[in-house]
Each structure stands twice: as C-alpha cells, then as structure tokens.
Amino acid sequence: MKMPVLLIPLTLLLSLLIKGRKIFIIPTIAFLGVVLSAFLGRRDYLDYTFLLSLFAGLFSVPILTIQIREMFLALSSQASRQLVALDDACRNIEARRADIHNNIRNLERQNAAVSDLYEMTKDMSGLLQFSEMFGVFQKILSENFSFKGGFLVTLRYNISALEIDKIYRIPSQELEETYLPDASYYKILEYLQHIRESAYVGRNSALRKQFSLVSEENLAFSLLKVENRIIGALILEGLPQEHFDKFSVFSTQFSLELKKVRLYEQIEEMATTDSLTGLYVRRKILELTRDELERAKRRSLYLAFSMLDIDYFKKCNDRYGHLVGDYVLREIARILKTNLREIDLIGRYGGEEFSVILPQTDLEGAKIVAQRISEAVRKYPFKAYGEVFRTTISCGVAIFPDDAQADIQLIDAADRALYAAKNRGRDCVVFYREIAS
C-alpha cells in the first residue's frame, strides 16, 4: 500500500507544476509510478503498477491526440492572426512609403515652383519706382498665368475697415487708376480682408451667391500681406483653379516687392516734400519740369509753368509772427491743391514762392487757372488771434512751346513774368509774352 499513498502527493505536486495542463498528469504519474516501484517496491507492486501505467497510457492517447490537435489549431490560428497583422503592417508600410514618395514629389514641385518664382520676380527686385515695377509685374503675370483680366488694389492702413487707396487695371498700357466693375467685388474684398484669407470664387462658390456676384468669370482674390498687415489685393478674372496656389505664392512675393517700393517712395517723398506745406521742394519741381517738358515734346502738347508769390508776406510775419506766417503758407498750399487738377504739380519754390506745373495747358487754360487761384486767395479769410485778415498773390506764367524750348528757359520766363507782376502793383497775373516784345 506504500505506492498508492505515495502517488497522491506526487499527483497534487505535478498538477501545480504543470499549471492546469491535466492531460499530461496521467502518463506522467504512470511513468513515475513505474520508476518508483522499480526502486522502492516489491516485484508484485511493479507488475501491478506497470499494468496500471499501461492502461492509463493507452487511455490517455486519444485525449492527448485531441488536445494536441486543439493546440496545433490554436497555434495555427494564432499564426494566421499574426500573418494577417504582419500583412496589414506591410500594407501600412507600403502606404506610408507611397505617402512619403508623394510628399517628396510635392516638395520637388514646390521647390521647382519656388525656383520659377525666383526667376519670375528677380526682375522686380532691383526696381524702386512703382511705375517700372508695375510694368514688369504685368509681364510676369502674362507670361506665367492664363487669365482674362484683373486688378491691383492698394489699401491704406486701417485695421478695422477696408480703405482703398488706388486701383489699377491689369493689363494696361499705362499706369492708370480705375474702379472695380461692380459693388460685389468690393463686398467680397471687404469680407476677405475681415477674415484675412485669400479665396478662389468659382462658379459654384458660396461667396458668389452670398454677395450676388454679377461677373460670370471665375475670380481669384489674393490678399497682399506683409508682416501680418494687408497692404492690397490682386484680383484675376478667368484664372484656372489649378493655378490658384501658384498665383498665391507669386502674390506673397509681390507683396514684399510692393512693400519695398512703398518704403522707398516714402523715403523719397520725405526728401522731396516740404515738411510745412506738403508740397514738392524746389529740387523735385526742377526735376518734374524737365520730365513734363520732355513728355510735352514727344506728344506735341502744351505745358504751362506758373510762379506765384505771396504779396507783402514779410509784413504779415512782422505783424503776427512766424507762426501765423507758417499758417498762411499752409493755407495757400491747401488753396492751390483745392483749385488744381490731380495731374497738376505744385511745389514750394522757396520762402513764400510757389510754382505750379500745368500739363496739357495752353495760354487760355493757364489764364483761367491763374485767375481762379488769385481770386480764391483774395477771398480767403485768414485768422490770427481772433482777427481776420486777407492777402493776395502775384503770378507769372510762361507757356511751352511759345515762350521757351527748354526747362530752365521756361522757369526763367515765368520768374521774369512774376517780377513784372510785382512791379505792376502786385495782386495780378502777367504772362511772359506780354513782356517779351
């Protein structure tokens, strides 16, 4: 009875060691029973244990077969799942590889676009005059984009509202200001400035319906931004949508060039503009006179040049002081701006002298302008310390080509006529032809 008693704890111990895999308990116990009987038991115990082990072994074979089959099925299922997971991982890797390849192609296209952009805009980078840059800008647009027409809109700096400075048509032979075709353009531009985004307005765009766009053309609105400040907008009619991204990149570069030109013009304006009156200084007037005379010669046009002087200005300074004198100069400048055309050029020639360039103006036209300015100054109520006073101007006028053929000669002729007006008692207009004979 020693052997059966010994098998009970051995069975429990083996059950704990094999952690529930009970199918192996029976043959294992049988085998151990044979071994222990051989060393510890008698012969009859060995025969009994052998038969018992043989019976247990034969009894466990079908169960072991089933269990092994189930184990192989489980391993096969697990291997299949792992293969599926591996296949999914391979497909993900392939998809990521394709995405990386597409990204590389996109980067290559962007790099090529940037290179093309550099080639497109490098001709603008050396220009400091807006008129010259605008010509190159139009050429670049025409050569690189397909569109039917468009507009360049420059804005004044106003963060709260749309304040248009100037609008230029694209393309145009000369730098001429114009208007946008209808109110819907302004409304869309104002909306885009508010959301600070560019937009492509296609035939099915929500913006087209929202703002009742009259034009049937596709419109590309690209805001011109510099340092988070909107300085203008480019509008192209009929631009294909697939070109909008390239157009936006070009607009970004153009924004920088436009900003640079504006800064240069501001610096130049500070150097060429009188700080008191806001009019051109003498040096700039001489330059403009030369340019306008050459233009008049090319187109066979008249050009009038006027010299104006405030009568008895020294007495005004002596009586009221220089602050009132400065006030009078500013008011005279304002009167000149109010009574002249936009194409007319006004300068402070020096002291209390002003000069006016009148393009495309003959003798009769110059007479009308001179009389209108003289009368406006004569009637204007100047004020000083609660006192109202009035002043007058003397004016000398010379006409190209009748009175002179060169810019210096034209200025000198107008100056001589002014001197004659002073000698005639002031507050009058004298034309050079009156004293030339």
Task: Indicate the burial class of 73 (C-beta count within 10 angstroms; 0-12, 13-18, 19 or more).
Answer: exposed
- Sequence-distant (≥ 6) Cβ neighbours of residue 52 within 8 angstroms: 30, 33
**For this structure, is 352 an active site residue?**
yes
Q: How many residues does this entry show for the chain?
A: 437
- Which of the 8 DSSP states describes residue 281? P
Choosing from 176, 352, 353, 375, the catalytic residue is 352
CA 163 – CA 194 distance, rounded (Å): 12
Asked if residues 259 and 252 have their Cβ atoms less than 8 Å apart, the reply is: no
Give the Cα separation of 162 and 344 in Å (integer). 28
Extract the tokens encoding 157.
Answer: 């700096």
Taking residue 340's Cβ as centre, other Cβ atoms within 10 Å add up to: 17
Contact between 410 and 397 under an 8 Å Cβ cutoff? The reply is no
Query: What region, left, alpha or beta, does residue 176 occupy, with left being phi > 0 and alpha being psi -120 to 50 degrees?
Result: beta
182 three-state secondary structure:
coil
Single out the residue of 219, 212, 214 nearest to residue 240, CA to CA.
219
CA separation for the pair 110, 104 (Å, rounded):
10
b/e per residue 246-270 (b: at least 16 CB within 10 A): bbebbbbbbbbbbbbbeeeeeeeee
Residue bearing tokens 């130049």: 268
Question: What is the edge-to-edge ordering of all strands in the sheet holding 229-237?
Answer: 164-170, 149-155, 229-237, 219-226, 199-201
Taking the C-alpha atoms of residue 156 and residue 161, their distance in angstroms, rounded to an integer, is: 10
Centre a 10 Å sphere on the Cβ of residue 136 and count the other Cβ atoms it contains: 18
Radius of gyration of the chain (CA): 48
Instruction: Decide if 169 contacts 151 (C-beta within 8 A).
Output: yes
| Residues tagged active-site | 352
